[in-house]
Structure 1
Amino acid sequence: MKKGIHPNTYRVVVFKDIASKNKIFCKSTVETKNVIKIKNKLYPLYKMEVSSFSHPTYKGNRKYINKAGRIEKFNYRYSSYMKQFI
């Protein structure tokens, strides 16, 4: 790696999901304005609106429109109509 281009400000930051109130500890260089006290120790706090705890895709609430492909759906709808031309 090149020297002098990587930040030196890595520190433990608490990422908090606002929707689900879950917290993640991670090393980061993100700029924060807030702090949080956990077990009598202050950590920088970064508030997130969406994370894997609250996003529908990660929670399993994702809606599948249709598992059949478009070609199969087309053939099913118009099979009787197309038979008269064959």
Structure 2
Amino acid sequence: MKEGIHPEYNEITVKLSDGTEFKTRSTMDPEDGVYRSEVDSKNHPFYTGNMNYQKKAGRIDRFKKRYGNSDD
């Protein structure tokens, strides 16, 4: 490998939102050596199946109310 062109590859601790921690190696360099994840497979709606479609329906209704129903 060529010298001086590759990023440092250090061990970091990944801390998930539920408190689970594990160690891995990465080129990322957090200041304290810990990467804190806000979203992971235990709390993301895509993985949990708790999608909230109510907001989308509200936007569609507001659009139809504002611009009229084009189904006529």
Q: TM-score, normalised by structure 1?
A: 0.44
Q: TM-score, normalised by structure 2?
A: 0.50
Rg larger in structure: 1
